[in-house]
Amino acid sequence: MSILKVARMGNPVLREKARRVEVAEIRQPAFQKFVDDMIETMNEYRGIGLAAPQVHEPVRLMVVGIQHDEDDEDDSKIEVVPLINPEVTAIGSDTVEGWEGCLSIPEVRGRVRRAVEIRLQALDRRGKRIDLTLQGFPARVVQHEADHLDGVLFIDRMGSFDSLTYLDEYARFWAKD
C-alpha cells in the first residue's frame, strides 16, 4: 500500500466533476489497490473521509469512517467504508450548522450548514449495492466527501466567512462551540 499525495485547494482536480466508476473497473486489482491506498492515506493524515479527487483521481469514489454510535468515543469502533458512485439525498428539511475541515485545505476550519439526516446509496468495493440512512456527524462526513466528487469544497457551502479560521485559532476561541 502507498500514501498518496493530497491535492490542495487551488489544484484544478478539486474543481472537476468526477466520472462514474464502471462495475467491471471495481473488480480490477489496480482499483482495489487504489481503495486500499486511499484508506491508508486517510488514516495517515488522521482524516475521517477522503474523496478520490483529493488524491488526483477524478472518479466517484470516497472512503469514510463511520462510527455507528456517536456517543461511543472509542475510535477503534470506526468502520472505514469505501463508497463508489454515491448518491446522497437529504431526508426531510432539517439542517444544522457544524464545524468542518478538509485535508485539501489544511489547518483551516469553518461552519457549514448540512442536512441532519441523509439516505446514502452507493456500491461497496465488490460492486454490491449499499443503502444506508445516516444522521449527525456520519451524515456530515458523507455530504462533505460527496461534494468533492462534484468539485465543491466546504468553503463553497459556508453561509458566511465569519467562522473561517485557522486550526490554532479554532482551538483557542471556537472549540467549545
Chunk the chain into consecutive blocks of 10 residues (it has 177) and report each block's average pLDDT, rounded to whole numbers: 96 98 97 98 96 98 84 69 98 97 97 98 97 96 98 97 95 84
Q: Distance between CA 175 and CA 1 in Å, rounded?
A: 34
Q: Is residue 52 part of a domain?
A: yes
Q: Distance between CA 32 and CA 27 in Å, rounded?
A: 7
- The pLDDT value given to residue 74: 57
| Grid cell in block for residue 71 | 456517543
Q: Which of 44, 87, 117, 145 is catalytic?
A: 145
Confirm whether 145 is a catalytic residue: yes
- The pLDDT value given to residue 88: 98
Say which CATH number the domain at 135 has.
Answer: 3.90.45.10
Q: Distance between CA 88 and CA 132 in Å, rounded?
A: 10
Number of structural domains in the chain: 1
User: What is the span of the domain harbouring residue 73?
Assistant: 12-174
Q: Is residue 4 part of a domain?
A: no
Q: How far is CA 141 from CA 10, 28, 33, 75, 172, in A?
A: 22, 27, 23, 15, 24
Q: Distance between CA 56 and CA 53 in Å, rounded?
A: 5
Q: Is residue 106 part of a domain?
A: yes
Q: Is residue 2 part of a domain?
A: no
User: Model's pTM, two decimal places?
Assistant: 0.93
Q: Is residue 3 part of a domain?
A: no
Q: Is residue 146 part of a domain?
A: yes
Q: Is residue 148 part of a domain?
A: yes
Q: Is residue 6 part of a domain?
A: no
